[in-house]
Amino acid sequence: MYQELRDAWRLERASFRLQRMDPAIYRRVEEYLAKLTSGSEGSISLVKKVARMEAEVLRALAQDLFSLRVRKALAQALEGRDPLRYLAREEAEAVSAALKALSEAEEMLACRLLIKGERVELKLVRLLREVSEEEAPSLGPLRTESLALLPIDLAERLVKEGYAELID
């Protein structure tokens, strides 16, 4: 198992592009690690120590291979290429989750920039009646005879409903 994992890791390290790899490699590493730890349970301490060291090396190698391949796949996906055909299931899940998170973050930023960057037309109105918070969300309550600089759509609605008059 170590040899196969190391060969895959070396091949991946030697290239800038994703390499084809056994899609079941992480499952097989997991099974091997389980067998390795269960096989050394009743053994003498030296055998346990060697098995534990081998397991640590395999975990580190598998994690580094996974990280390297996911980073390469993300780079390819961001360039518009589809890396999924080269990925193991675990890698594809990580790439999909990362791309989804990136997409959501971009959408949130776009919404914030749109709201902040939008030029809102305002109108000055004199209030004839009190306006409750429900009638003017995030602005109310507004008192009678006060002046308010309001977004044009809200100002026009209040004028139409008899709550305010426009000031030129």
| CATH number of 40's domain | 1.20.58.1030
pTM above 0.75, yes or no: no
Please tell me whether residues 111 and 127 are part of one structural domain. no
Range of the domain at 48: 2-115
Q: Are 125 and 159 in contact (CB under 8 A)?
A: yes
Please tell me whether residues 17 and 32 are part of one structural domain. yes
pLDDT band of residue 136 (cuts 50, 70, 90) is low
pLDDT band of residue 90 (cuts 50, 70, 90) is very high
**Per-residue model confidence (pLDDT) at position 69:** 93
pLDDT band of residue 117 (cuts 50, 70, 90) is low
The fraction of the chain above a pLDDT of 70, given in percent, is 86
For residue 142, the cross-strand partners are 131
**Per-residue model confidence (pLDDT) at position 114:** 59
CA torsion angle 106 107 113 119 (round to 10): 150
Please tell me whether residues 106 and 131 are part of one structural domain. no
**Per-residue model confidence (pLDDT) at position 41:** 66
Please tell me whether residues 110 and 154 are part of one structural domain. no
Please tell me whether residues 157 and 111 are part of one structural domain. no
Domains contained in the chain, number: 2
**pLDDT tens by residue, 10-62:** 989 998 888 889 899 999 999 988 888 776 666 677 878 888 888 899 999 99
Please tell me whether residues 32 and 70 are part of one structural domain. yes
- E strand intervals along 30-153: 122-127, 147-151
Please tell me whether residues 129 and 101 are part of one structural domain. no
Please tell me whether residues 127 and 109 are part of one structural domain. no
For residue 59, the cross-strand partners are none
Please tell me whether residues 61 and 138 are part of one structural domain. no
Phi-psi region of 56 (alpha: psi -120 to 50; beta: other; left: phi over 0): alpha
Rounded Cα–Cα distance for residues 95 and 87 (Å): 9
**pLDDT tens by residue, 79-88:** 878 888 889 9
Q: Tell me the mean pLDDT in the region 125-145.
A: 75
**pLDDT tens by residue, 123-134:** 878 888 887 777
